[in-house]
Structure 1
Amino acid sequence: MKKPLLLVLTLFLTQFAFGQQEKDLVRESFENYKSAVLENRGSDAPNFLSSRTLSYYDGIIHHAIKSDSATIDDLPFFDKFTVLLIRHYIPKEEIVTMDAKTFLKYSVEKDLFGKESYINSKIGEVKISGKFAQGKLRVNNKESTISYDFYKEDGEWKFDLLSVMKLSTGYIMDFIDSSDYTINEFIFAALLRLDGKEPKPTIWQPIIEM
């Protein structure tokens, strides 16, 4: 049985409108996180991030508190960098009280990962597949080749910072490979540049011995 043309068009337009609304919600999730970062609202920022992001940083905090030098040295680049950054920059008495949300709050308020990367940036084209979405980054109103990931959780789209880390790691590793730095030398140079203090050998040691 053929459906009336008007009904077909109505259904198509309804689905199209719903799809556009979902894409706008993906863009909104990025804007919410960006605003929290740029406005120094550290307490709000974690609310716009995916559960995958929060689980990742819970693991990072665990490493920062308890993992020994061999374990840390064997971590992937960004994990190792973040653990050593935490031990270098944040007082021990604060680290031991942290979880993912309190660390992210601290990192926003202290601008540990750089606000400048979010200035004049927004999400352009969005592709959705179920509860997963990718949004193309636009900078200064020009679309880039970079895509960020988003996940729908409990009915809300959440920005996935892990997709940003993956991209950043690729660029940094390319730089290290083409330079005279080892990975650890690069990390220590970055930590020195962060606050002008030479990293101490003790940052390889756990805060709490297992």
Structure 2
Amino acid sequence: MRVAFLTFFVVLIAAATSFAAPPRETPEEREVAATFDAARTALSEKRGSAVIPLLTRNSVKALESVRDAARQPGDAPLQRLEPAERFAAMGLRRYLGPAELRRMSVGDIANHALKAGWLGPNVISRSALGPVRVKGDRASGLLMVDNRPALVPADFVREGGAWRIDLASVFTFGSQMLKGFAAMAGKDETAYIGELLDRLPAKPGAMKAQ
């Protein structure tokens, strides 16, 4: 489950080493692929902060909401988040101390996550962007993992004339999964998330997940 902490950064924008990208037929498709490739390069070089400018404004706001909720003590800030964001915020509390959370930007957290190995390089190398479909100012690419389609597509939005990675579908899919699993277990979503996190080792001195 550690990969979930970086799902909103990495799963959609992981690097491809064994997958041959299909030909890009239009200039827009090539521009979308270029955004993906720029993020791929940054991730492979462990420069997580360089990915943040490649995200949509709403995606950045969502990540900032996760960080801000993790910074605040108690359960109330977490309850305002959807389950996927709540999972990420509770995970940040587990792996980063209060002082670290107060001083770190979203880019700082991305840098730390990559350098700390929250997502191994093997995960990055197994993923790639498949065929891309553009419709107006939105685009969607088939995300491939081990040459197989992933459950969540790679979505993009054109903002200010440039294509940006949109993480909305990642959050939505993650929240639906957590809601479903919690319901099947007959447990409150926050309690269920806490149990998932309890299976991971906590960083010494870090705030325990609520």
How far 1:162 sits from its partner (Å)?
2.9
Aligned letter for 1:40? Answer: K
Matched, 1:90 2:105: no
Q: In the alignment, what sits opposite 1:81?
A: 87
Q: In the alignment, what sits opposite 2:128?
A: 122
CA distance in 2, matches of 1:169, 1:43: 25
Q: In the alignment, what sits opposite 1:138?
A: 144
| Contact preservation (8 Å) 1:191, 1:199 | no
How far 1:181 sits from its partner (Å)?
5.3
| Contact preservation (8 Å) 2:84, 2:178 | no
Deviations 1:149-172 (A, max 9, x none): 111223321112332232233334
Matched, 1:105 2:149: no
Change (3 A) 1:200 1:33: closer
CA RMSD of aligned residues (A): 3.2
Q: In the alignment, what sits opposite 2:14?
A: none
Matched, 1:170 2:176: yes
Matched, 1:155 2:193: no
Change (3 A) 1:191 1:168: same
Aligned 1:16-95 pairs, distance under 5 A: 20-66=26-72, 68-95=74-101
Identity over aligned pairs, percent: 22
Aligned letter for 1:122? Answer: A
Deviations 1:71-110 (A, max 9, x none): 4235321122122112221021111112322222323333
3-state secondary structure, aligned to 1:75: coil
3-state secondary structure, aligned to 1:40: coil
Count of matched residue pairs: 188
Change (3 A) 1:45 1:152: same
Change (3 A) 1:78 1:199: farther
Aligned letter for 1:162? Answer: A
TM-score under structure 2 length normalisation: 0.72
Q: In the alignment, what sits opposite 1:12?
A: none
Greater relative CO (CA pairs within 8 A, separation 6+): 2
CA distance in 1, matches of 2:98, 2:150: 40
TM-score under structure 1 length normalisation: 0.72
Please identify the structure whose Cα radius of gyration is greater: 1
Gapped regions of structure 2 (runs ≥ 5): 1-23
